[in-house]
Chains A and B, each alone.
Chain A
Amino acid sequence: MSLGQRVSSDHQLTRLLQIGVVLEEVVESRAALHIDSLPPEERAEFDAEVEELLAEAAAESADHRERLEALIDDLEADTVEYEEINALVDAQYGPPEDTDGVLYDQLANEETAYKFYDDLITAIEASDTEFAVDRDRLLETLSEIREEEKEGVQEVTEIMEHRA
C-alpha cells in the first residue's frame, strides 16, 4: 500500500494519464448516449441549450483525450481505444429518466474530472521524480485541462439553476 499522495515513477504517471483518457472517453460516450436515449417527448423538450452543452462536452473531452495521449506518447505507452470504452459504457449504461438526470450526470462528469486532475497535479507537485516527459509541460497541460473542467462545472450549474 502506498500512503501519501504522490506520483513516484513514469510507470505510475502513465497509468494515471491512461485513467484520465478513459474518464474523458466515458464522458464523451455518455454524452452521446444521453442524447440518443431520451424518449421522443423528452427530446422535444430537450432544448438547444442542453444539446449544445452535451455536444461541447463531447468535443472538449475528445480534445482533452488528445492532449493526454500526446503526453502518454512521450512516455512511450499506449491508451485504450475510444471504441473499446464506448462498448463498455454501452454495456453498463442505464439512461437517466429525464433531462434533469442528464444534467446531473453531466455535472458529476465535470466534477469528477476536475477532482481527478486536481489530485493528479497535487501528487505530481509532491514528487521530485524526474519524469520522461517535461515536468513544466505536464503540469501546464494538466492545469489547463483542470481549468476547463472547472468552467464545465460552472456552466452545468448555471444551466441547472436557471432551469429550476
Chain B
Amino acid sequence: MNTADQYLKAIYLAQRIEDGPASTGTLADLLDVSPASVNEMVGKLQDRELVEHEKYKGASLTDEGLERAHDALQTYCIIERFLANVLEVEEFREEARALESVIDDTVAERLDTIIDRPEQCPDCFDPEADHCELLEVSGRAD
C-alpha cells in the first residue's frame, strides 16, 4: 500500500473517530509523523481531488478519496485477518501496521482467498480498537 493510500485510510478512520473532518493532530498521531508532514501530504491529496481541506477544521475525503480509502482499509483488514488467523500472530495490529507499506493490494487479494472475511468488511472496522470488531482471535501466542 503506497503512502497516499495510507493517508487516505488514516483520514477515513480519523473522520470516523472525530465524527467530522480529520484534524491534523489526529492524523499525525495515527500516522506517527509530524503535523508539517501531514499538511504537506493533505495538500497533495487536495490537488489530486481526493481530499477537501478546510482551514481550522480539517480534511474530509471526496467521493473518489472515500472509495480509495475504503479499498485501502479493506487491504489492511485482510492483512490483519491473515496475520491473526493464518499465521496466528498475537501482535497482529502492530505487525499489520509495520507490513502494510510493503504489501500491495493485489497480494492482499490473493491472501484473501484463504481467509474468512465477513461481507460487511471493512465497515465493521473499529477505528479506536484498530481492528475489525468481528475479528475472532484464537490460537497460539507468537
Is A bound to B?
yes
User: What 0/1 readout, one digit per residue, does chain A (1-30) give for beta carbons within 8 Å of chain B?
Assistant: 111111100001001101100110010001
Q: Are A112 and B110 in contact (CB-based, < 8 A)?
A: yes
Residue of A nearest to B108 (CB): A112
Interface of A is mostly: helix
Q: Are B110 and A26 in contact (CB-based, < 8 A)?
A: yes
A123 close to chain B: CB less than 8 A: yes
A89 close to chain B: CB less than 8 A: yes
Rounded to whole angstroms, the CA-CA distance of A119 and B104 in the bound complex is: 8
Minimum CB–CB distance for A156 against chain B, Å: 15
Q: Are A89 and B114 in contact (CB-based, < 8 A)?
A: yes
Among A4, A22, A26, A85, point to the contact of B101 (Cβ < 8 A).
A4
Minimum CB–CB distance for B65 against chain A, Å: 18
Residues on the B chain within 8 Å of A88, using CB = 86, 114-115
Q: How large is the interface on A (under 10, 10 to 19, 20 to 34, 35 or more residues)?
A: 20 to 34
Minimum CB–CB distance for A9 against chain B, Å: 8
B98 close to chain A: CB less than 8 A: yes
Minimum CB–CB distance for B25 against chain A, Å: 15
Given contacts A1-B6, A80-B87, A88-B114, contact A23 B107 (CB under 8 A): yes
Rounded to whole angstroms, the CA-CA distance of A55 and B106 in the bound complex is: 23
Q: Are A12 and B106 in contact (CB-based, < 8 A)?
A: no
Minimum CB–CB distance for A125 against chain B, Å: 12
A77-122 CB contacts (< 8 Å) to partner B? 80, 85, 88-89, 91-93, 108-109, 111-112, 115-116, 119-120
B87-112 CB contacts (< 8 Å) to partner A? 87, 89, 95, 97-104, 106-107, 109-111
Residues on the B chain within 8 Å of A112, using CB = 106-107, 109-110
State the total of A-B contacts with C-beta under 8 angstroms: 94
Residues on the B chain within 8 Å of A4, using CB = 3, 101
Among A19, A26, A116, A123, point to the contact of B113 (Cβ < 8 A).
A26
Given contacts A1-B31, A26-B110, A85-B114, contact A18 B98 (CB under 8 A): no
Q: Are B86 and A123 in contact (CB-based, < 8 A)?
A: no
User: What 0/1 readout, one digit per residue, does chain B (102-134) give for beta carbons within 8 Å of chain A?
Assistant: 111011011101111000000000000000000
Which 10 pairs between the two chains have the least Cβ-Cβ distance? A88-B114, A112-B110, A123-B102, A116-B107, A1-B97, A2-B98, A112-B106, A5-B101, A1-B31, A115-B104
Given A1-B10, A19-B99, 9 further pairs, Cβ under 8 A: A1-B6, A5-B102, A6-B102, A22-B87, A23-B110, A108-B110, A112-B109, A112-B110, A115-B106
Interface residues of A (CB under 8 A from B): 1-7, 12, 15-16, 18-19, 22-23, 26, 30, 80, 85, 88-89, 91-93, 108-109, 111-112, 115-116, 119-120, 123
Interface residues of B (CB under 8 A from A): 3, 6, 10, 30-33, 82-83, 86-87, 89, 95, 97-104, 106-107, 109-111, 113-116
